[in-house]
Amino acid sequence: MRIEDIKIRKIFATNSKPTLEVEIKTKKGKVYSSVPFGTSKSKYEIVYKDFEEISEIFPRIKRYFFEDFRDIREVDRMLHSIDTSDNFKKIGGNLALGISLAFLKAFSLEEGVPVYKYLGGNTIPKPVCNVAGGWKGQSDIQEFLILPLHQDSFVKSIDEISDLYLKLGEIFSKKDPTFKFSKNLESAWVTSLPAEEILKILTNIKGENFVIGLDIAASSLWNGEKYVYKDKILSTMQQIEYVSSLIREFKLFYVEDPFHQDDFVSFSVLTKNSKCLIVGDDLYATNLRRLKSGLDISATNAVLVKPNQIGTVTDTIDFVKEAKKNRLKVVVSHRSGETDDNLLSHLAVGLDADYIKLGISGERVVKINEMIRIEEELS
């Protein structure tokens, strides 16, 4: 496929910050892809550059993208040959990803199929929904998550989680005097109730088919020596005990980043000693090399997948393949700063992910609603 034109523009993300959109024109029409960004980022993610810098870099590399590319792998190879650093520090990882995602859409358009079909997948994942959390230090634990154990259909899971989310808001308004129905960056309820209290409420209302997850995002609690909470400071051993006790007491099904991003060993200890899904987000940063280090010691039994941590579609595919080969569960995830692009839903289905991590309200429904359309198409 040879494109007719490629251009970039500044658009805005859900956190009101400017971000990048890439537009590609082919004989078949136009496609647009935009790039999300994170707030609690791993230090192992690709380098993002601001739009002003990107708009100086892009004209210098634009000409490389008018070749006759056979598939997305060739485009991504071109991106890596233009920037040979391992974190896209020369051209910006956000520019690399914007180009890669736009080409993915262009190839799909060229073949006349939806993106998930172009990628070759057909599995509807289960949703992992962020329903409550903190904002600017209001809660020590970043995200309280709800997910279905069994799924009849995606739309039914979302229907039930939406009910739970609304019910949760009502309960917070009675139990938390500071609660004002405010939402955080991922449109989850912001509450200042202690973690154990939130977990008790979720346990009471969730019903039999739903289970509870946490994203502890522990790198943000780690001060280099200890885990610093509002009401306690824990050593690594104490953190292992604390997380294990939460898993036991609240029958947690999913725990993301219970330790900081360099502590593969503690991940491995927890994974060996619990039946829960232990998910690496900041730990792996969707980086194949870091995943392989984790696999050596069975650090986790699940991976979070965020294409914008690594910068190309091909790198994302290779990461997912390696995780699956080693029977790790795959969770394709949004970021706290999202856009109105619904490509994430296609990636989750196209890569046959087990789960997709999403917000349940506000602008977050863009991805949910696209998944509902894909589910209908596939049934």
Contact between residue 295 and residue 81 where contact means Cβ atoms under 8 Å apart: no
- Whose Cβ is closer to ligand PGA: residue 176's or residue 256's? 256
Instruction: Give the residue from 163, 142, 160 showing the smallest Cα distance to 151.
Output: 160
Q: CA-to-CA distance for 168 and 325, rounded, in angstroms?
A: 38
| Contact track, ligand PGA, 293-332, x by CB under 6 A | ----------------------------------------
Contact between residue 123 and residue 320 where contact means Cβ atoms under 8 Å apart: no
What Rg, from alpha-carbon coordinates, does the chain have? Answer: 20
- Per CB under 5 A, which region of 57-65, 72-80, 187-195, 211-219 contacts Zn ion? 211-219
**How many residues are given for the chain?**
379
Contact between residue 290 and residue 263 where contact means Cβ atoms under 8 Å apart: no
Active site residue 321: no
Q: CA-to-CA distance for 206 and 292, rounded, in angstroms?
A: 36
For 249, other C-beta atoms within 10 Å of its C-beta total 12
- Of 336, 339, 345, 361, the one binding ligand PGA (CB under 6 A) is 336
| CB of residue 217 to Zn ion, shortest distance in Å | 5
Q: Does 352 bind Zn ion (CB under 5 A)?
A: no
- Per CB under 6 A, which region of 115-123, 198-206, 312-320, 333-341 contacts ligand PGA? 333-341
Active site residue 186: yes
- Per CB under 6 A, which region of 35-43, 69-77, 115-123, 170-178 contacts ligand PGA? 35-43
Site for ligand PGA in 214-233 (CB under 6 A): 215, 217
Which residue's CB atom is positioned nearest to ligand PGA?
38
Site for Zn ion in 263-292 (CB under 5 A): 281
Q: Which of 186, 256, 338, 370 is catalytic?
A: 186
Q: How far is CA 335 from the centre of its chain?
A: 5
Contact between residue 212 and residue 235 where contact means Cβ atoms under 8 Å apart: no
* CA-to-CA separations, 212 to 144, 149, 283, in angstroms, rounded: 7, 10, 21
Q: Does 83 bind Zn ion (CB under 5 A)?
A: no
Tell me which residues touch ligand PGA (CB under 6 A). Answer: 38-41, 215, 217, 281, 333, 335-336
Tell me which residues touch Zn ion (CB under 5 A). Answer: 215, 256, 281
